[in-house]
């Protein structure tokens, strides 16, 4: 199988699983919790002040920012999805963090885009403390950014280690040349 096809299978596989989970959880919330209602299993009521499932709508960006920007964020989602699909084949084959990050970003953009196109707003339901209410797609975008940053950090670390090893090799060669030079000079005399 072509390596690009395999890469796209990874991209669409990661995105597909996350989008399916996102859409299923949003459907469950819409079907089981009235709008602005709240739910928490009886065995977990101790979590109430800190975490709960609520039913909320959002016409803005992730975490409720920029309300009433549905059209702008719909267009932006199409652009992001297109850019990810276009640039994905250019990712180095060994750069798994960027591949996973792009899959998560694709999933987040797609999950919320589906809501915007089908309902005109995004269903949010995860409420943690005073943090804005969010959903699986929003979390996927955030985790994708975290994985991307982790990948950048790992790549920079790997590059620094490679330079240090290369620097040590060069230093060793220079020392061996310096050590050999006086001996060679004495033999020539």
Residues with a catalytic annotation lie at 124, 138
Nearest to 60 by CA among 140, 144, 124, 146: 124
| Element holding 180 (H helix, E strand) | helix 136-188
Residue 69 token pair: 């920007």
Nearest to 135 by CA among 22, 15, 18, 1: 22
Chain centroid to CA 47: 27
Determine the 3-state secondary structure of 57 from DSSP. strand
CA–CA gap between residue 134 and residue 73 (Å, rounded): 16
> Taking the CA atoms of the chain, what radius of gyration do you get in angstroms?
26
Nearest to 140 by CA among 114, 95, 106: 106
CA–CA gap between residue 177 and residue 154 (Å, rounded): 35
Q: How many other CB atoms are there within 10 angstroms of residue 85's CB atom?
A: 15
């Amino acid at each position: 199988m072509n390596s690009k096809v395999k890469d796209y299978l990874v991209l669409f596989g990661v995105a597909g699983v996350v989008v399916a989970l996102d859409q299923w959880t949003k459907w469950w919330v819409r079907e089981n919790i009235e709008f602005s209602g709240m739910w928490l299993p009886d065995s977990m009521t101790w979590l109430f002040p800190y975490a709960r499932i609520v039913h909320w709508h959002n016409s803005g960006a992730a975490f409720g920012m920029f309300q009433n920007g549905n059209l702008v964020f719909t267009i932006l989602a199409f652009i992001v999805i297109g850019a990810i699909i276009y640039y994905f084949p250019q990712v180095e084959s060994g750069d798994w963090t960027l591949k996973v990050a792009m899959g998560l970003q694709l999933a987040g953009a797609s999950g919320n885009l589906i809501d915007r196109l089908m309902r005109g707003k995004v269903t949010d339901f995860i409420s943690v403390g005073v943090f804005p209410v969010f959903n699986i797609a929003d979390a996927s975008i955030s985790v994708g950014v975290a994985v991307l940053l982790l990948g950048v950090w790992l790549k920079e670390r790997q590059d620094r280690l490679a330079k240090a090893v290369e620097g040590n090799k060069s230093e060793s060669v220079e020392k061996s040349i310096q050590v050999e030079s006086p001996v060679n000079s004495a033999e020539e005399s």
